[in-house]
Chain A
């Protein structure tokens, strides 16, 4: 086990940016899924705490709103919108892939051995999800800033 612990690449295998140029958009979607998941969990915990101030009356609620209804608060919330849309869209793509849809059918492999599962459909879905998340962020900003 100690040998394996020393052998493993460790956290560099997750966060080294050089990896993402060598392995394609699917790997980037994987790390983004983790980052957005953790970000959304942190936001969710903060949101539950923030909304609990409603129990302390209007003054407490207004003071929380003063914190969040600021320029920084709006920018933060638009990031949350982007994270939420990406995590949802990529999550749906992953669920379909993990059920066996959109990954092609097994066939006799032939040179240059291009993997069927990493096809244009999947890549297009990832790019589309990133695009829709950006659009959602833009829409959120227009709503929040009036």
Chain B
């Protein structure tokens, strides 16, 4: 799958803008009550069980994974060049992205469905 670099960078900028907005909401949720209380087990579970909040977390997970690993890919591509290396970096970052999204989604979905 070969995507033009301009499309990849538009995705990079789009995910950045989306993530800024959603992470701001995520942080503000910690301020709906005392910071230390908001981290208590029951309150965290209650947050996850709200479908809207679960969707918010899932979106943050996807947006930041894409943005973060694409940024890492850019840095690694600048550090060294060569066809095999560049392919390895690109596919490695995509794989890491998928693994992180899968692992995080597992937490969100299982907690939201009460499987804790």
A34 to B76, CA, bound (A): 11
A20 at the interface (CB under 8 A from B): no
A41 to B16, CA, bound (A): 13
A7 at the interface (CB under 8 A from B): no
Judged by DSSP, the binding face of B is helix
How many residues of chain B have a CB within 8 Å of chain A? 31
B116 at the interface (CB under 8 A from A): yes
A48 in contact with B68 (CB, 8 Å): no
| Chain A contact residues, CB within 8 Å of chain B | 11, 34, 37-38, 40-41, 44-45, 48-49, 51-52, 54-55, 57-58, 61-62, 65, 69, 84, 88, 91-92, 95, 143-144, 146
| Chain B contact residues, CB within 8 Å of chain A | 13, 16-17, 20, 23, 31, 35-36, 39, 41, 44-45, 48, 61, 64-65, 68-69, 71-72, 75, 79, 100, 103-104, 106-107, 110-111, 115-116
